[in-house]
Amino acid sequence: MGSFKAIILAAGKGTRMKSATPKVLHKICGKTILDYVLDVTSALRSLKTYVVVGHGAEKVRGLLGEAVTFVRQDRLLGTADAVNRCAPYLKNFRGTVLVLCGDTPLLSKEIVAALLKQHGRTGASATVLTAKLDDPRGYGRIVRDAQGAIKAIREQKDASGMEDKIKEINAGAYCFDAKDLFQVLKEVRKSRQKEFYLTDIVELLLAGNKKVGTVTAQDMTAAFGVNTRQDLAQAQAVIRQRILNAHMARGVTVVDPLTTFIEAGVAIGRDTVIHPMTVIHTDVRIGKNCSIGPMARLRPGTRISDGVEIGNFAEVSRATLGPGVFQKHFSFLGDAAVGAGANIGAGVVTANFDGKNKNRTLIGAKAFVGSDAILVAPTRIGAGAVIGAGSVLPKGRSVPAGKVAVGVPARVIKGAL
């Protein structure tokens, strides 16, 4: 495939999202739209990735950190101008420049790898990713000559009646020879729409006797750009299904994929069963042979060992559950560590937030926390200890291992319950 540097265009306003958040920072399954595009460039080992930012630049920069170089485009003069902002960094680079749009979260690394491969093999000045769409509205059309070679990309707004009917579109992903790219960008003139179109360089390169090729994606998701909230929901549906499929392929039972929401960045062990209407957020790890849900919610920072059962209306957040823990109904464990084999009764709540800080609850192995107990964190329950049903364990209290505590406030009593 060869080495390459990447430019991701992400300066657009995203007006149609009607949002205070820059478009590329909207989230799908726990990750930003832009993260999905960056996943592609990093999976394919881009030597360097430049993200062109304009609208909400500081927010984008704040969220993405060090891994990429940000390039400012303060005035949105069009996609050619956006690429040209990277000239100071890339004009002396000799090699392939991959250009992607920051709003195409469904683009797969396989199709971009195919684009890079063909570009390298043919030695073209530019290779354009295209796709055939039943409804090509809004996209630039691929105009071909009688021999089927690409002649131009015509933007919808500038297309003639005939061109308007073309179903093959520009997916917005391209490979360029760096030298030819920055040379020809100087020749791009403002379009009738008063924008500098990157797509104009196809005709300019051909006029200069340079070679331009195409790769056609079989899967229309390659071209899918998020422009509206409806698009965001549609992209979410595709990505959610991809995530569920990947878990199922690794040996997880998802009883009802239609009502199961698992974000990106979740690991689940073999033979674990995820029951319907369960939500699992990003940064959650679940072991083997667990049963989760129905109607459970696992939030970031949750670590669940093997053989754990989490039932209906149970929520877990930033908590570690040892092997064989039972938490079967109506309960909340937040900022907690629960030892192996502990039983969390129905309605148990760790009151982890005191209005200022989040405090921890430690529950020892084989402890038994009775129904409706409230544990006002920080608290510590020793291994094998029993908390009576309906007890309130006050803040700062410990129950020694093997002891029984009951009442409001809970007191340690002699003997068993």
Q: Would you tell me which residues interact with ligand UD1 (CB under 6 A)? A: 9-12, 52, 73, 76-79, 81-82, 101-103, 139-140, 153, 155, 169-170, 172, 197-199, 225
Taking the complex as a whole, how short is the minimal distance between the CB of residue 103 and ligand UD1, in angstroms? 5
Q: Rank residues 106 and 405 by Cβ distance to ligand UD1 and give the closer one.
A: 106
CA dist 380 and 386 (Å) reads 12
Residue 184 in contact with residue 198, Cβ under 8 Å?
no
Binding site for Mg ion (CB under 5 A): 225
* Least distance in angstroms from the C-beta of 225 to Mg ion: 4
**Judged by CB, which is closer to ligand UD1: 153, or 338?**
153
As a whole number of angstroms, the distance between CA 383 and CA 363 comes to: 7
Place of tokens 């056609």: 216
Least distance in angstroms from the C-beta of 86 to ligand UD1: 11
Q: Least distance from C-beta 55 to Mg ion, angstroms? A: 13
Check if 281 is active-site: no
User: Is the CB of residue 182 less than 8 Å from the CB of residue 201?
Assistant: no
Nearest distance, CB of residue 16 and Mg ion, angstroms = 10
240 SS3 class: helix
- What 8-state DSSP symbol labels residue 63? H
CB count within 10 Å of CB 122 equals: 14
Of 81 and 263, nearer to ligand UD1 (C-beta) is: 81
User: What's the rounded Cα separation, in Å, for the pair 188 and 317?
Assistant: 53
**Coil, strand, or helix at residue 60?**
helix
Nearest to ligand UD1 of 158, 372 (CB atom)? 158
Judged on CB neighbours under 10 Å (0-12, 13-18, 19+), 355 is exposed
In the complex, minimum distance from the CB of residue 358 to ligand UD1, in angstroms, rounded to a whole number: 37
E strand or H helix at 239 = helix 229-249
Are 314 and 328 in contact, with CB atoms under 8 Å apart?
A: yes
Catalytic residue among 26, 275, 281, 329: 329
Question: Residue 257 carries which DSSP code?
Answer: G
CB closer to ligand UD1, 219 vs 354: 219
The residue type found at 38 is L
Smaller CB distance to ligand UD1: residue 79 or 214? 79
Taking CB atoms, the residue at the shortest distance from ligand UD1 is: 140
Burial of residue 186 (CB within 10 Å: 0-12, 13-18, 19+) is: exposed
Q: At what angle do helices 109-122 and 33-43 cross, to 10 degrees?
A: 50
**Catalytic positions, written as ranges:** 329
